[in-house]
Amino acid sequence: MRIFSGIQPTGRKHLGNYLGAIRQYVEGQDRGESIYCVVDLHAITVAYEPGELTSAVLDTTALLMASGLDPERCLLFRQSDVREHTELCWLLTTATPYGELSRMHQFKEKSEQQRGLVSAGLFVYPILQAADILAYRTDEVPVGEDQQQHLELARNIAERFNARFGETFVVPTHRIPAVAARVMDLQAPETKMSTTGGTPLGTVQVLEDPDDIRRKFKSAVTDSDREIVRGADKPGITNLIEIVAAARGIAPGAVEKEYAGAAGYADFKRDAGEAVVELLTPVRERYERIRPDEARLGEVLAHGAEQARAIASETLELAREHMGFRELRVSSDGT
């Protein structure tokens, strides 16, 4: 089985990114051929600083390795180093209905956040994401719950392309974590935790100082009840239960059972903070050792890109051939 996923280049990854995606990447190394990509081309679809882009790629690479990605057991590369992604994106653009793109929730959300230019790149972002996935004839994509719609588009594109031009792409399936697939903001538990759109006190960064993490959990919004159980009317406590379960590797029901006799929320919120500190501290410590060696990080990405191109180029050539871009034959005299 081949597993693929991409991640935006920023070292400021939060707890939701870690539980919903990064930890799945690490586990994927034991389940199949794993290919992971730092998607810097996606990052330029919104406002960004060109001078900071390379550093952000290295930040993210170091964080992934600190989390457990092993370049000896997976392919890890920078998206822009494999140009097959962009050519395949254009081919897929001609086979994607405008109407499907216009229904993408993330385009609507991100375009509303842009104070200046809303780029066409942001609109076709899901097609580039589909190209990322389909270039590797991917069987499985580990994603957070918020990426389900984009993966469904990639499936639709693959099926439509195969039906129109002949069997070219594998139609991928998604893998969403059973627990904490959508981590919510600690201060606004009706909304997803987010580095850009979340509240400062409600967003827990993977590399954050342990005392700051504890403070955020102690101040987490709950409700006026005392019972530590999940429920539609208890978004704050439900979120904390899911986080504790994911951090400890147990079922949410086991967390509810453990705290069934609790007198209130204070001790539970403290314990939730400690569980997350225990989970993330080794990642932060490894990151601090890995990040300074930029030459090593560059070598990892370059080697990964070389291997990735060998796979993606075969898929691209097959797509080109099926679409009619066959190699031109030239006579021996050049005419």
The predicted-structure confidence for 23-36, as pLDDT tens digits, reads as follows: 999 999 999 999 99
189-196: average pLDDT: 88
pLDDT score, position 111? 67
Tell me: the pLDDT tens digits for 108-123? 677 666 667 788 888 8
pLDDT score, position 243? 97
Q: Where are the domains of the chain?
A: 2-180+293-323, 210-288
pTM of the model: 0.92
Rounded to the nearest angstrom, the gap between the alpha carbon of residue 57 and the centroid of all alpha carbons in its chain is 14
pLDDT score, position 335? 56
Radius of gyration of the chain, Cα coordinates, nearest whole angstrom: 22
Per-residue pLDDT band for 178 (boundaries 50, 70, 90) equals confident
pLDDT score, position 334? 60
Is residue 201 within 8 A of residue 186, CB to CB? The reply is yes
pLDDT score, position 198? 81
For the chain, give the mean pLDDT.
92
DSSP bridge partners of 141: 174
299-314: average pLDDT: 98
Instruction: Give Cβ neighbours of residue 92 (< 8 Å, ≥ 6 apart).
Output: 127, 130, 131, 134, 157, 161
CB neighbours of residue 229 within 10 Å: 16
Q: Is the pLDDT of residue 103 over 90?
A: no
Per-residue pLDDT band for 11 (boundaries 50, 70, 90) equals low
CATH topology of domain 2-180+293-323: Rossmann fold (3.40.50)
CATH topology of domain 210-288: Tyrosyl-Transfer RNA Synthetase (1.10.240)
Q: Is the pLDDT of residue 179 over 90?
A: no
User: Measured between alpha carbons, how far is 282 from 5 in angstroms, rounded to an integer?
Assistant: 23
pLDDT score, position 115? 64
Q: Is the pLDDT of residue 289 over 80?
A: yes
145-149: average pLDDT: 77
Number of H helices, E strands in the chain: 14, 5
